[in-house]
Structure 1
Amino acid sequence: MLVVVSDTHAREESKLQGRTAAAVREAELVIHAGDFYHEPVLDAFRSAAASLRAVYGNNDDAAIRDRVPEVRTVEYAGVRFAVTHRHRSGDTGLVMLGRGRDADAVICGHSHRPRFDDSGGLPILNPGSHAQPRGNRPAHAELTPVGDERGSALDGKLVTPDGKVFEEFRIEGGGAE
Structure 2
Amino acid sequence: MLVVVSDTHAREESKLQGRTAEAVREADLVVHAGDFYREPVLNAFRSAAAEFRAVYGNNDDAAIRDRVPEVRTVEYAGVRFAVTHRHRSGDTGLVMLGRGRDADAVICGHSHRPRFDDSGGLPILNPGSHAQPRGNRAAHAELIPVEGDGETGVDGKLVTTEGETFETFRIEGDDAE
- TM-score under structure 2 length normalisation: 0.97
CA RMSD of aligned residues (A): 1.1
CA contact (8 A) 1:151 1:174 kept: no
Structure 2 partner of 1:37: 37
Unaligned 5+ runs, structure 2: none
Structure 2 partner of 1:70: 70
Unaligned 5+ runs, structure 1: none
Tell me which moved more, 167-176 or 129-138: 167-176
Partners of 1:68 and 1:109 lie apart in 2 by: 15
Partners of 1:15 and 1:71 lie apart in 2 by: 24
Describe the SS at the equivalent of 2:147: strand
Amino acid at match of 1:16: L
Structure 2 partner of 1:18: 18
Partners of 1:20 and 1:163 lie apart in 2 by: 8
Structure 2 partner of 1:60: 60
In the TM superposition, what is the alpha-carbon distance from 1:149 to its structure 2 partner?
A: 5.2
Question: Percentage identity across aligned positions?
Answer: 86
Partners of 1:96 and 1:7 lie apart in 2 by: 23
Structure 1 residue ranges (4+ consecutive) displaced by more than 3 angstroms after TM superposition: 147-150
* Count of paired positions: 176
In the TM superposition, what is the alpha-carbon distance from 1:102 to its structure 2 partner?
A: 0.3
Structure 2 partner of 1:92: 92
Describe the SS at the equivalent of 1:50: coil
Are 1:9 and 2:9 an aligned pair? yes
Amino acid at match of 1:132: Q
Describe the SS at the equivalent of 2:157: strand
Describe the SS at the equivalent of 1:151: coil
